[in-house]
Structures are given as C-alpha cells and as structure tokens.
Amino acid sequence: MKGARIFLGVTGGIASYKAAALTSTLVQRGAIVDVVLTPEAERFVGALTFSSLTARPAYVSLWDMPERIPHIRLVREADVAVVAPATANVIAKLAHGIADDLLTTALLAARIPVVLAPAMNDAMYAHPATRENLATLRARGYEFVDPERGYLAEGETGVGRLASEDRILEAIARVLARRRSLAGKRVAITAGPTREAFDPVRFVSNASTGAMGIALAREAALRGASVTLLLGPTLLEPPAGVEVVRVTTACDLYDAALAQAAGTDLIIASAAVADWRPESSSESKVKKTDADLVVRMVRNPDVLAALGERKGTSFLVGFAAETDDHERNAREKLARKRLDAIAVNDVRDGRGFGTGENALALLWGTADRRDLGAGDKSALAARLLDAVEELMGCS
C-alpha cells in the first residue's frame, strides 16, 4: 500500500468515527490519503482530525480551494476511492447521479475503482429502495465491503454495522493489487449482439445486451490495459477510458476483430454473433400479405474461428452460451476453434442475458476448470480476469 493514493469519503453516520482509525492505519502503511467529509459527517468528527492524521487538507465543501477544482483533481490523482461509512442517503445519491456536495460530485467524476462500505440501521439496509440502489451500483462496477451483524447505535442488533477495519483494508489492497496488473497490455473485447437485416426495419438478432463484455472492458481498463471494445448494437453505455468500435453485422465484426487482432496481448470474444444472415436484404420494407414468407439464410463468417487461426501470440478467450451439455460442447468449441480458454454459461430460459446476474465456469487445456460462481457481471468480470491473468502469467 506504500505510495498508493487513496480518496477517502466519510459520510454522516455514527460509524464515521471509525474512519479516523482507518485513516491512521492507511497512513501508517504508507498511503497518501485525501479525506472528503460530507457536512453531516462533520457533525460527528471534525475535518481537523483527518488533516492532523494525514498532514494534508481535509475537504468538506466544493468551495474549499475552488481554484484547484477539488472534485476533479482529487479523484484524478487517486488510485482508488473508498467511502466508509457509506450511508443509505449517499448510496441513493450515487445510484441516481445526484451530486449536491463535494463527495458525490467527486465520485460522479471518478474513473477509478470505488469501494463502498455501507453502515446503517438494519431496517434501512433491508429496505427495497436501498437494495435496489445497491444492485444498481454493483451493476455499474462499484465494489462493496458488506456490513456485519452486530450491535447498532440504536441499541438494536442486526446487519448494518460497518465492516471491520481489516475487511476494508483487504478490499482496498485487493483493488490496488489489480490496478496495474494489465499495464502495458493491449486487450480487445467483442461484446453485444449482431443484427442481420431482412429489410430496413426487420433483422435477425438475439437477446444479448453486451453487459458482460462492457464489464470486462471496464475491468481491464481499471487494471491498466489499453482496451478496444468492439461493440454491437446495444442501449448500454460503454465505459470511459476505452476505445469503442461500433459494429452492426457479423461481417462488420469479422473485419473489425481481425484488424484488431495483430499485436493484441489478450482477446476476449464475448459477443453473441449471429451464425446466419438473410441471403438478401430488401431496400424497402417488405409488406405483409396473406401468403407465408420463406427467407433463405446463409452462414456468416466464423469470427472466433478466424481469430483462433490468426491469434499468433495473443491469448484468446471465447464464450459458450449453452442450453444443453454445457461443458462438453464448450470443450469441443475450445479445441475446434483453437482457443486458449473458454467461459461457459447456461442460457436456458434467458439466463445470462441482460444486465442482471450470470454464472460462469472457465475451461482450458484438456480437463482444467475453474468455477467462477454466480454474481453480477462486474464481479464475474473481475474473477474471469483474475483467472486469465494467472494463465497468461501476469500475476
């Protein structure tokens, strides 16, 4: 942790006094800590306490040294942002993009990993609004140190007590350890569906949203990689800090992927590519009649197989979305398409598609396997890259 730059946000809960001890430990371990308190937090513990511990200014207002634009400068200089404690109020603000004080304004501008350590009454933590806000932030890539069960300030016992200092420090160390693990690496990721036009308003496609690939691109960028995201049609926004190449059809993706492959250290092919396309596409909308319609479909180029043939020294990871005989089918694909590893998931009943949770297993070699478990796609992206980095010898 020595030399790490840490942005520490302190919000207005009774547990805010514990942030002073956390600050002291971080400083003792060699970190450079910039503390931002909400006005409510200052009712519990003063800014002077933190400036004394860090030998640096502690900030409360957007108007503290406004000439230095603290809400931008502080998060640009930091390696990781931590909010401990994170109240239900601040969690709700972050989930809905409300930036009405220095802390929330800075976090809205952050392009670094953000770790939240919630602390509140157990009823507040269990409330559907809070659970929804937590799920929203997890889906955006925020990391959490979940609260513990214990004695609460109100004299009640439940889940809402701020996580122990050791657990918060472990989360910070984990984020810092992977912060630069892919520094200097070029990574290309394919994501989302393709669309194969039948006429100007109709197309053949699938239910992919690109959420998994977008999460992988975000995570790889956070680890220091130079990332190119080849993204099919989706309403989801790509992460900041990555190069985005928009594609529509399988042929578009084929051309773009082969152009990116040369000199790339890691290729992750998570796109859901249409295997067939209409043999011809009408320039005008095909009008409905009483007669049945027959459309001849022809094969699209196999993007993943082409990457396998031309990968050179690149490490190539494919995806297999299966409904039956998952691992047998995935292992056959792994060998046939000359992949280095393949992530397999069960997509029966629409599972795995959309922005919700997924479950993955990573296969390589003739029988090697790692279960990545279930979880939101940001968490799975981190686990997948952890495993891939080990196989590549990056960690």
Task: Please state the domain extents for the chain.
Answer: 5-179, 186-392
Using CA atoms, how far apart are residues 309 and 312, in angstroms rounded to an integer? 8
**pLDDT reading at 159 higher than 90:** no
CATH of span 5-179: 3.40.50.1950
DSSP 60: -
User: Where residue 342 falls among pLDDT bands split at 50, 70, 90?
Assistant: very high
Cβ-based neighbour number of residue 40 at 10 Å? 16
- Tally Cβ neighbours within 10 Å of residue 167: 15
Residue 125: φ, ψ to 5°:
-65, -35
Residue 155: what pLDDT? 82
Q: Cα–Cα distances in Å, from 356 out to 34, 73, 96, 140?
A: 34, 33, 18, 11
Q: Do domains 5-179 and 186-392 have the same CATH topology?
A: yes
- Model confidence pLDDT, tens digit, residues 81-136: 999 999 999 999 999 999 999 999 999 999 888 999 999 999 999 999 999 999 99
Q: What are phi and psi of 367, to 5 degrees?
A: -150, 5
Mean pLDDT of 182-188: 93
Q: Are strands 368-376 and 357-364 parallel, antiparallel or unpaired?
A: antiparallel
Report d(CA 32, CA 7) in Å as an integer. 9
Domain 186-392 annotated CATH 3.40.50.10300: yes
6 pLDDT tier (thresholds 50, 70, 90): very high
Among all chains, which residue has been given the structure tokens 């969690």? Answer: 91
pLDDT at 217: 94
CA gap 390, 376 in Å, rounded:
22
| Active-site choice (206, 300, 329, 345) | 206
Mean pLDDT across 57-86: 87
pTM above 0.75, yes or no: no
- Active site annotation includes 206: yes
